[in-house]
Amino acid sequence: MIMMDDNKTEKKITWDLVPYKPVQSFMYKCEGKFHSDCLQYLLEDDEKFGFIIVDGAGAVFATLTGNQKTILQKISVELPKKHNKGGQSSNRFARLREEKRAAYVTKIAEMAKTNFINSENKATIKGIIMAGSADFKTVVAESPKFDPIL
């Protein structure tokens, strides 16, 4: 309630506040004061970190800002397993397996560039976290095709 200019009449005004980020929790309390504890995260730092989770079955590209996670892209892949049969074709199977793994690593490096680097060749994230099973994360990070900006 506010007093009008004539100091005799009161007028009820209601404000609707829309936060610029989605609210993470729901709270309903019928009290005489406004609880702002659940909105405190809006004032925290907005640094964005990138995630690449990669293994032999696929990869996920995501970002994390505060406690808000956003999945940018998911892919799945079927890489050939190690071939344990002998004979003349074992070398050919091993070569095909290595070629497909190399193509997968190249694809991951290109997707990291499209997801985390803007058109001006600047990173859109503060840091990057690589996770996954086996040594795919190390192979991708050390690949010459993985952009050094990241």
pTM assigned to the model = 0.67
> How does residue 87 score in pLDDT terms, banded at 50, 70 and 90?
low
For residue 91, give Cα distances in angstroms to 40, 70, 95, 104.
60, 42, 6, 20
- Residue at 31: amino acid letter: E
pLDDT tens digits along 22-39: 777 777 888 888 777 777
Ordered domains of the chain (ranges, CATH): 48-142 (3.30.420.60)
pLDDT in tens, 46-71: 788 999 999 888 899 999 887 778 89
Q: Pull the structure tokens for residue 94.
A: 């091993």
Q: What is the mean pLDDT of residues 132-139?
A: 81
Average predicted confidence (pLDDT) for the chain:
83
| Secondary structure (DSSP) of 105-133 | HHHHHHHHHHHHB-TTS-BSSSEEEEE-S
